[in-house]
Structure 1
Amino acid sequence: MKKPALPKDEALRLQSLENLNILDTSADERFDRLSRLASQMFATKVTAISFIDANRQWMKSCIGPFSQEIPRDISFCAHTILDSKPFIVNNALADPRFSDNPLVTAEPNIHFYAGYPIKHANGTVLGTLSIMDDEPRGFDDYDIQCFKDIADLVQSELHAIQLTTQDQLTGLLNAHGFQVLSQNSLNMCERLNAPTSLAYFDVRGLKQINQLQSNRDGDNALMFFAELLTFGFRDSDVLARLESDKFAVLLTNTPIANTKDILDRFKERVDRYAVEKRLPYTLDYNVGVSWVDEEGDYDFAELLNIARSLAEKTKP
């Protein structure tokens, strides 16, 4: 059995998937409707809309006898996300890449597989629309075109979700996405009695950059700051652009002493970046921090309001 390789943009792909906040969510009729359409059109045993995270294939929508999640290393769909083209296996038993795959040799006995990659707006492949059957079969150009038509509808629905949770300029979460994902993280921390911190950043001088340089330079400054946040914090932290020049980070399982050290290192990185890139402006900012110690109040709105208030008090 050939295990699937990792996409070249795996880090960005996983971050984009996490920011979408779609994993481990409940059934959604807009995706189930498209699964039913594909199942009816191709009359296959299994139809699924799946997303691939670091270790598994997780089904957002599935028709037929298939587990909601399976290990990534035996997933057919994990091969599909390596390209932007459809991935077709007409007879898995005769294909050395899959002939001894447990999904082929035992239930659900996948002998035919067709998968179409589903992309994020930034071009990374997050998941697939797939159909599977327990008998080998052909799949011609007309089938592929019809399959693509349904996959395009799935992708459109995915992009609609992105518009409600993601900031289009920086790729970070927007205010709504930050609230949803942060509350999920806070609920987990509360169950574990884990410390949590929230940092609120107010980037200074954006108006002056727009006036003295250009609006494009102002947008670039915001994208630079978002990039620095991405590299300066952990993958498990929740990052967002809340509004024009306001950013926030929720640091899970992080006591306030560690947060202060992290913010000091981040400030050094920001200052160094401006010098290395020879920017005609500085990326100055105010930051306010709120936190929850063990058995504290894990209230998102209160944490955000406190951090915002502290950032505003430090304005020159």
Structure 2
Amino acid sequence: MIKPGIPANEEERTRAIDELGIVYSPSEARFDRITRLACRHFEIHTALVTIVYKEIQWFKSLQGMNACSTDREVSFCGHALVNEEALVVENALLDPRFFDNPLVLDGPKIRFYAGQPIKDAFGLTIGTLCLIDSTPRNFSDEDRQDLRDFARLVEAEIAKPIEDNVLTRFIRSLSEKQRSLLIDPIVGSWNRLGFETLLNKQIEQTVLQKETLSLVYVKFGSIDMIMSRFGSDRIVDFRKFTASLIRDTLPNGASIGSIGTDAFVAICAGMSATDTEQLVAHIKERFLKTTLETHGIKALVDVEVASLTITDDKLKCTPGDAIDALLNAH
């Protein structure tokens, strides 16, 4: 295996990524939409928005993999950073750089890889939009152009001004190490501690603004049925699918947290009870119409969805109290 080299502007890259606050931060619907489209367009199961940072590569969006990061020294994307054009490996077993790479020999058993470098608003390469398959593939000039176009969509999102809201201020207030302790490393949402910490910030802001705060609770209808039908190792697929679908329905500034193996809670500030009820109905409808495919098996995911809207006069509570009130109401 040949380890990827370090770009000459590595310090500048690292500072730029730090400024974006994009590593050890939750997955976002705006990037998920692009990776989902890329999967459908190229008829492939795995597409990633990868940020190559220090010793890791962080997946800001991922379809088809069950981890939010891997070591940089085994990454394909680390090799792609030094190019303007896509790095294409049509058969990793035949490539001297990768034939004995752990990601080739073991899971996910990469055979095909195509990674188009992505840049920040100042032209610094910070990562890639990449495609992965477990079987060798050909990749035409037209495919390369299409991948470049998808990568430009990612760059357009990265270049957008950072919104000033509780969520973005919370992320930017945390150090890299603090963020790493507050993120679910598999699903890409806040873990229980991260969610309660963010919820506390949101409660403070909501009291100050004298607004309302809504929590939306989404739980698998029967985790025992899922495990008996699909096996415990497929629970991760259901959790990732559920988190992604919730993210895709939430308004800007909302965020979700994993509060258990089978449940998520979303924070939605400033929404009326009526708006929250409409959101709950929309989430239910999406789950009824959207199919998860896991290892060749297609399934609808049965979920229970509930909500709790809290007015400012009842917001002087702890995050734990608010979550307990939601669960009790459900």
Secondary structure in structure 2 of the residue aligned to 1:24 = coil
Cα distance in 2, alignment partners of residues 84 and 71 from structure 1: 23
Q: 1:184 aligns with which of 174, 178, 183?
A: 174
Cα distance in 2, alignment partners of residues 127 and 28 from structure 1: 16
Aligned amino acid, residue 55 of structure 1: E
Contact 1:74 1:101 survives alignment (8 Å)? yes
- RMSD across aligned positions (CA): 2.6
Cα distance in 2, alignment partners of residues 53 and 149 from structure 1: 23
**Pairwise CA distance, 1:83:** 1.6
Deviation track 1:167-223 (CA, whole Å, cap 9, x = no partner) reads xxxxxxx9999955652249959x9xxxxxxxxxxxxxxxxxxxxxxxxxxxxxxxx
Query: Structure 1 residues 149 and 182 mapped into 2: Cα distance closer, same or farther (>3 Å)?
Result: closer
Query: Structure 1 residues 69 and 182 mapped into 2: Cα distance closer, same or farther (>3 Å)?
Result: closer
Cα distance in 2, alignment partners of residues 120 and 186 from structure 1: 19
**Pairwise CA distance, 1:67:** 2.1
Contact 1:87 1:114 survives alignment (8 Å)? yes
Moved beyond 2 Å, runs of 4+: 174-183, 185-189
In the other structure, the counterpart of 1:77 is 77
In the other structure, the counterpart of 2:282 is none
In the other structure, the counterpart of 2:220 is none
Contact 2:24 2:176 survives alignment (8 Å)? no
Cα distance in 2, alignment partners of residues 94 and 76 from structure 1: 14
Identity of aligned residues (%): 37
TM-score normalised by structure 1 residue count: 0.53
**Pairwise CA distance, 1:65:** 2.8
Query: Structure 1 residues 4 and 55 mapped into 2: Cα distance closer, same or farther (>3 Å)?
Result: same
Which of the two has higher C-alpha Rg?
Answer: 1
Contact 1:77 1:128 survives alignment (8 Å)? yes
Cα distance in 1, alignment partners of residues 74 and 140 from structure 2: 26
**Pairwise CA distance, 1:125:** 0.6
Cα distance in 1, alignment partners of residues 132 and 178 from structure 2: 36
Cα distance in 2, alignment partners of residues 41 and 183 from structure 1: 38
Contact 2:74 2:102 survives alignment (8 Å)? yes
Contact 2:50 2:57 survives alignment (8 Å)? yes
Cα distance in 1, alignment partners of residues 45 and 172 from structure 2: 38
Contact 1:45 1:134 survives alignment (8 Å)? no
Query: Structure 1 residues 79 and 187 mapped into 2: Cα distance closer, same or farther (>3 Å)?
Result: closer
TM-score normalised by structure 2 residue count: 0.51
Secondary structure in structure 2 of the residue aligned to 1:153 = helix
Is 1:68 aligned with 2:68? Answer: yes
Secondary structure in structure 2 of the residue aligned to 1:142 = helix
Contact 1:164 1:177 survives alignment (8 Å)? no
Contact 2:50 2:128 survives alignment (8 Å)? yes
Deviation track 1:226-274 (CA, whole Å, cap 9, x = no partner) reads xxxxxxxxxxxxxxxxxxxxxxxxxxxxxxxxxxxxxxxxxxxxxxxxx
Cα distance in 1, alignment partners of residues 150 and 33 from structure 2: 10
> How does 1:47-58 map onto structure 2 within 5 Å?
47-58=47-58
Secondary structure in structure 1 of the residue aligned to 2:78 = helix
Runs of 5+ unmatched residues, structure 2: 182-330
Secondary structure in structure 2 of the residue aligned to 1:103 = helix
Cα distance in 2, alignment partners of residues 37 and 178 from structure 1: 26
Contact 2:119 2:126 survives alignment (8 Å)? yes
In the other structure, the counterpart of 2:5 is 5
Query: Structure 1 residues 176 and 7 mapped into 2: Cα distance closer, same or farther (>3 Å)?
Result: farther
Query: Structure 1 residues 182 and 33 mapped into 2: Cα distance closer, same or farther (>3 Å)?
Result: closer
**Pairwise CA distance, 1:85:** 1.3
Runs of 5+ unmatched residues, structure 1: 166-173, 192-316
Contact 1:81 1:126 survives alignment (8 Å)? yes
Cα distance in 1, alignment partners of residues 172 and 42 from structure 2: 40
**Pairwise CA distance, 1:87:** 0.5
In the other structure, the counterpart of 1:28 is 28
Secondary structure in structure 2 of the residue aligned to 1:143 = helix
In the other structure, the counterpart of 2:102 is 102
Query: Structure 1 residues 77 and 182 mapped into 2: Cα distance closer, same or farther (>3 Å)?
Result: closer
Secondary structure in structure 2 of the residue aligned to 1:50 = strand
In the other structure, the counterpart of 1:164 is 162
Contact 2:118 2:151 survives alignment (8 Å)? yes
